[in-house]
Amino acid sequence: MPSSSSLVIRVPALLFSVAVVGALIGFAWEGAVYGKRDISEEWSPPPSLDDAPEAKGTGRSPSEEVALKRALVHFPAYPRASRAELLAVDYLGPDVPIAVAWFSTQDTPEQVLSHYEKVLLDNGLPVLGQRHGVNGGWVGYWSPAKEEMRLISVLAQGGETLGFVSAGQVGPLLKRAASVPPWMPLPPELREPVTLSFNMEGASHHVVAGKLQEGTPSEVGARYRELLTQKGWEVGAVESVDVGGVAFEVMRGTTLGRATVRSRLPEAGVEVQLSLLQRGATP
């Protein structure tokens, strides 16, 4: 069974940050955090002995034990998975509390996501989430009492599925939003684009989001791919996400990432999100 240190080596920081941080930020931008979703009361599953931190022999400090419990307390253990371990804590800064744990399973990403969707729905929680094709995605819910997003993010990697369990308060993160740097190519008609940037694993991670009033994800995605190519970026194959949404990998020099275009249902138009991991100089 892989250790937490080997997991960090095997899973690129980009994939981890897109799966967890991108989901958290996306929740906030979509308005789920600020009143569009509501939960009448808090819910936490019964304690799971499989996920409970061991009292001794783990090599974790007391603060790491507390952080592991923060990440795991809101979801029951997956029935066919390794024991969960701490992966990261408060890496977005002291003003954005977040704890992330990980587990692995031989089940597919869809099996894991469907399992937790049922768990949340059975407990009366309004489930939010996305599918990133067959290789990953996330489901979760917003806790109004704690102002906290709680997620299960999954990623197919190396013949198994990696699960990331996270609990994070993302409201303060939005206060860091700034204008988009000129080197980031975005559709010219994009409305009110903002970007969040932070350092992680020795690199800069940028998440940019904006909206278009007209067009479908496939139409906007095609125009955006053409723009990126004209600006000297490499673009990967188009993948289907959500219902009618599209996504593709982007790269230029030592900067790589993922662009996602999806419908803003029930509103008109589409949302564009670009997540980039930048190492070294501006591309």
Last-in-domain residue among 145, 171, 197: 171
* Contacts for 225 with CB less than 8 Å, ≥ 6 apart: 235, 238, 248
The domain containing residue 197 runs over which residues? 177-278
Burial letters 178-208, b for 16+ CB under 10 A, else e = eebeeebbbbeebeebebbebebeebebbbb
Q: Which of 171, 192, 224 is the last residue of a domain?
A: 171
Q: Which residues make Cβ contacts (< 8 Å) with residue 16, sequence separation at least 6? A: 87, 88, 164
Together in a domain, 80 and 186 = no
* Same domain flag for 112 and 13: yes
One domain for residues 36 and 137: yes
- Give me 110's structure tokens: 């869809």
φ/ψ of 9, rounded to 5, equals: -70, -40
Q: Is a pLDDT exceeding 70 seen at residue 48?
A: no
Give the count of domains, the chain: 2
50 with 167, same domain: the answer is yes
81 secondary structure, DSSP code: S
Residue 283 in any domain: the answer is no
pLDDT of 283 reads 72
Domain contains 50? yes
- At 232, the pLDDT band (50, 70, 90 cuts) reads very high
Q: Reduced to 3 states, what is the DSSP secondary structure of residue 241?
A: strand
Neighbours of 252 (CB within 10 A): 19
Answer for the pair 27, 101: CB distance below 8 angstroms, yes or no: no
pLDDT at site 13:
37
- pLDDT the model gives residue 123: 87
Q: Tens digits of per-residue pLDDT, 121-171?
A: 998 888 888 777 788 888 888 787 777 888 888 888 778 898 888 888 766
**Listed residue (59, 62, 86, 89) closest to 72, CA to CA:** 86
Tell me what pLDDT residue 182 has.
85
Asked, for residue 54, whether it belongs to a domain, the answer is yes
Q: What is the pTM of this model?
A: 0.64
- Chain centroid offset of residue 232 CA: 27
**C-alpha angle 149/155/161, rounded to 5°?**
115
What per-residue string of b and e applies to 118-152 under the rule 16 or more CB within 10 Å gives b?
A: ebbeeeebeebbbbbeebbbbbbbbbeeeebbbbb
Q: Which of 171, 199, 216 is the last residue of a domain?
A: 171
Chain centroid, CA 79 distance in Å: 23
Instruction: Please report the pLDDT score of residue 112 as a whole number.
Output: 96
Q: What is the pLDDT of residues 55-99, one digit of tens each?
A: 455 577 888 888 888 888 889 999 999 888 887 787 667 777 888
157 plus 242 within the same structural domain: no
Query: Both 94 and 189 in a single domain?
Result: no
32 and 131 part of one domain: yes
What is the Cα gyration radius of the chain? 18
